A and B are shown apart, each in its own frame.
Chain A
């Protein structure tokens, strides 16, 4: 019950539209930059979609955890006896709920734009959980830092490689395995970095 309430705190519908728009802009920018050759676009399409997803997942990182820290909401939650790991787990789920439907919707829209295979979508849906996990880790690491999102990018991107490789390669099981690992680690890593900051 508590978990559901913790998750619901952060799911806001209007904010879910921004990643869709951002995603579609990156996809069309790629098409403009590379040129409208359908064969090339179909070849680089999966990679483009994954990079767009990765960048879109980085968008809300600046406020993901820092907001709760600044307003004191995090302290209130911790005082109420909830473990930091549970709070971070809920934060990861809510980040994913805000991210995944938007990404999948945008990816479906870009299927005709880039001429890619629809089989990529399930991998994106599963892999987006890994992006949400990395997002929470990065947000916890960079909460209160001067350079915010830019640092978050530097920190997150190396760890996103396995998901990126398997996901854009279209191998569903390996994507799921890499995502599962990150999702399992993320609440503990984020909680550890917030504790280290105490």
Chain B
């Protein structure tokens, strides 16, 4: 793992991966959404409004997967002092925040025609809202210090703590009798019809690639900014 602690070696592989994940993500998302929005059948109960799942479900999965990655990065940053793990955490947090915000927004738009309300204080909805706040806390801490390295460390501590929220989100629909339905797609199989499942999986894979691409772009930008300020400090010393 420490092989890629060297920013130069990391950038060498990050550059092509960024491009391929970006392209692959765009193609998959475009294909998945086109398939889901125009070709897949409407739901017999929910009608056309079911099509929002092709965005909502990937956003929900990825906001949780993104937070898990934040937690792993925070762990690597605090325990192994891996320099790129901090960069990854700081890069990923705003993207995760956007994904969880979109998850809440699309869910709320879907809830209006289906449940008859934009928002209920149900276990699943509330815990995803808390996830969004946790992302905001990480961003605020990471940006709150004059020394960015220190901000990243503090953000890591918070990210590690916030991991307790993930099981709460996952099991909220089983622990509490809530309005939000339990998972339809599990490791054992899926209760969704094939005609809806495939476009959903395509768009989920596409959004995952886009999340990866955006994270890599931000990581590269952060590394570049760090290099620039290091060079400025060096120049100021010699001048």
Contacts and interface: CB of A to CB of B under 8 A. Distances in A.
A and B form one complex = yes
Interface of A: 137, 141-142, 144-147, 151, 154-155, 157-159, 161, 189, 192-193, 196-197
A3 to B, nearest CB: 25
Interface in B123-145: 130, 133-134, 136-137, 140-141, 144-145
Q: Which 6 A-B pairs have the closest CB atoms?
A: A145-B144, A196-B153, A193-B157, A155-B137, A158-B133, A154-B137
A146 B144 contact: yes
A196 B78 contact: yes
Contacts of A161: 130
Interface residues of B, number: 21
A155 B144 CA distance: 12
A155 B158 contact: yes
A88 B109 CA distance: 45
Q: Is the interface of B mostly helix, strand, loop or mixed?
A: helix
Contact of A146 (B145, B158, B162): B145
B20 interface: no
Nearest to B78: A196
Given A146-B145, A158-B130, A197-B150, A141 B140 contact: no
B146 A196 contact: no
Contact of A196 (B134, B136, B154): B154
Nearest to B155: A141
Nearest to A159: B161
Given A144-B150, A151-B140, A196-B156, A189 B161 contact: yes
